[in-house]
A and B are shown apart, each in its own frame.
Chain A
Amino acid sequence: MMPNTAVTGAGEQDGRCIPIHLTINGVAHHLSVAPWTSLLDLLREKLDLTGTKKGCDHGQCGACTVLVDGCRMNSCLVLAVTRDGADVTTVEGLGTVDDLHPMQQAFVDHDAFQCGYCTSGQIVSAVGLVAEGRTGSRAQIRELMSGNLCRCGAYPNIVDAIVEVAAGAREGGEPMQ
C-alpha cells in the first residue's frame, strides 16, 4: 500500500472549512474542505485526480461515478463533508497503464468507447455493478447501467465488456441467460 499522505488546505479559506478524513484509492487524506465542495470538485480541483469527469454536474450523466465505501455514486451530488471517514475509489485506483483492471482491459478488448469522456464513469459504474452481483442478463446490465450516458452510443460494446467481466467474476464463469 502506498504511504499515507496528509493534504491540508483543500478548501476555500473563509473560516467555514471542516476537517475531514477520506481514504482515496488506498491513501489516507486529512483534508479541510468548504461545506459546498462536491466530492467531484475535491477530487479534480484539489487532489488532481482528473480521471473522474464532470459531465452534467447534476447526476444525470454518470461521468463522475466513483465508489464510496464500495457503492457507486455520482460524486457531483455528494458534498465531501458528508462523507467524512469514507473509503473512495476512483478510476485511478482500479488499475495502472501497465496493469489494467479486468474491466479496463475488457473495455479495450471490446472497443467499448469512442470519444472516451464517459468511459471512466462507465468503468467505475460497471465495477460497482459487478460487485452488486446483478448482471444476470444483458437486459439487467442495460437497466442497471442506465445512469451512465454515452453520447457516442457505444452501449452494445459496453454491455459486451461487462458481460465478459461478470462471467469471469462468477464462480465457474457460467454463461449468461
Chain B
Amino acid sequence: MIRFDYTRAGTVQEAVNALAADPQAQVIAGGTNLIDLMKYNVATPTLLVDIGKLPLRSIEATDAGGLRIGALVTNAALAYDERIEAEYPLLSSAILAGATGQLRNAATTGGNLLQRTRCYYFYDTGTPCNKREPGTGCPAIGGVNRIHAIMGASDTCIATHPSDMCVAMAALEAEIIVEGPGGERRIPFARFHRLPGDEPWKDTTLASDELIVAVELPPRGFARHHTYLKLRDRLSYAFALVSVAVGLEMNGDTITAARLALGGVAHKPWRLPEAEAALTGGPATDDRFVHAADLLLNGAVGHEHNRFKIDLARRAIVRALGQAAAGTPQSQIDKQIR
C-alpha cells in the first residue's frame, strides 16, 4: 500500500476545504473500491479525507414527495429501506444484483456513484491506459475486450461504468446534490457520468473540490411495473455484461410512461429519450419492444470479444420490458429468467 496523509472531516465544509487545498486528495467513505485501487497503485492520493463521521446517513422525505438519500447511506441500508423497497423497488433490486453482502454493508451511495471502471487494463499498471495515464493509449481496443463498451465509446477509451445502482438511478432520473467552495449544486443524473471522448480520465462532471452529499429521488418510482435484469458470466458477484433497468406506467395494456436504461454497455448508464418515447402511448407488445431496443442500440459498435453484447442487449431489453409490463420483476434470488 502506498503512503498517504489522513484527515477526518468534522463538517462538510472541512471536507470541501481539504479537497480544495490539495488536488491530489481523495475522499474515503466505505473504501471498497478506493482501497482496492490503492493496493494496485492505480489510485495514488496524497491525502485521504475521511467523511465517515459526517451526518449523511439518513433517508428523508423531500417536499416534492420523493426521498433524499444521504451520501453515506450504505448500499445495504438503501436496498433494504422499507420506503425504497415499497416505492422504488427498481433501485432496491439493482443494488441487490451487485456485489456481495459484505461489500454492500460497507459501500456507500456516494461511493457507488464514483466507482471506477473494472477494465483489466485500467487495473494493470504494467499496461498503458488513457484513463489511468492520459496519452499512453488504449490496449483494450484490439486487445481483450469482452467486458467493454458497445455504445458511446471513443478511440481513446472503451471502458464501461460498473455500477448497478447507477443504472436504476438513471432510469429514475435522480439528482445528485454536491457541495463545493461555491455552495450547493444539483446535477441531473444524466449529466453526472460522462462519455470518454478525448478526456477518458474524467469519469464524471464532479469537480475535484466538490463533495457528494446526497441523491434525491423524484416522486415517480414505477413500483408496479419495473425490473432490473442483469446478465453476467456468474450468477452472483459478477459485473454486468449487459443489464437493463425498466420502469413503466401502464393504463390497462397501454404504456403511459417509460424509462429504459442499460448498464455494462457504456461509460455511463445508457438512455435515449427517443426509445422511451417510442414505447409511450401504445400497447406492450414484443414488436414495439424490439423497435425501442433498436432505437436504443442504434450506433452500437462491437469489438472482437464483445460483439455478442449487441444482440444480447437487444434480447435483454425485450425480455425486461416484458417482465416490467407484466408486473413480474426479475428476482435477484431466484436466478431463473422468465
Q: Are A36 and B1 in contact (CB under 8 A)?
A: yes
Grouping DSSP codes into helix (H, G, I), strand (E, B) and loop, the A interface class, with mixed when no group exceeds half, is: mixed
Q: Scan A29-65; emit 1 where CB is below 8 A from any B CB, else 0.
A: 0000001101000000000000000000111001001
CB contact under 8 A between A71 and B334, given known A78-B31, A125-B101: no
Contact of B105 among A38, A57, A73, A145 (CB under 8 A): A73
**Nearest chain-B residue to A62 (Cβ)?**
B102
With the chains together, A129 CA to B101 CA distance in Å? 8
Contact partners of A14 in chain B: CB under 8 A: 3
CB contact under 8 A between A147 and B103, given known A36-B1, A38-B35, A140-B333: yes
Chain A positions 51-88 with a Cβ under 8 Å from a chain B Cβ:
57-59, 62, 65, 68, 71-74, 76-79, 81-84
B237 on the A face (CB < 8 A): yes
A93 on the B face (CB < 8 A): no
Contact partners of B76 in chain A: CB under 8 A: 71
A100 on the B face (CB < 8 A): no
Q: Are B39 and A147 in contact (CB under 8 A)?
A: no
Q: Scan B225-259; emit 1 where CB is below 8 A from any A CB, else 0.
A: 00000000000110000000000000000000000
A132 on the B face (CB < 8 A): yes
B310 on the A face (CB < 8 A): no
- Give chain A's interface residue range (CB within 8 Å of chain B): 35 or more
Contact of A59 among B3, B32, B236 (CB under 8 A): B32
With the chains together, A125 CA to B31 CA distance in Å? 19
CB contact under 8 A between A59 and B103, given known A16-B5, A79-B28: yes
Closest 5 CB pairs of A and B: A147-B100, A35-B6, A146-B236, A71-B105, A36-B1
Task: Spell out A's residues near B (CB within 8 Å).
Answer: 14, 16, 18, 35-36, 38, 57-59, 62, 65, 68, 71-74, 76-79, 81-84, 125, 128-129, 132, 137, 139-140, 142-147
* A-B contacts besides A77-B32, A147-B100, 18 pairs, CB < 8 Å: A14-B3, A16-B3, A35-B4, A36-B1, A36-B4, A62-B100, A71-B105, A72-B102, A74-B32, A78-B31, A79-B35, A81-B6, A81-B8, A82-B28, A82-B50, A128-B105, A137-B333, A144-B101
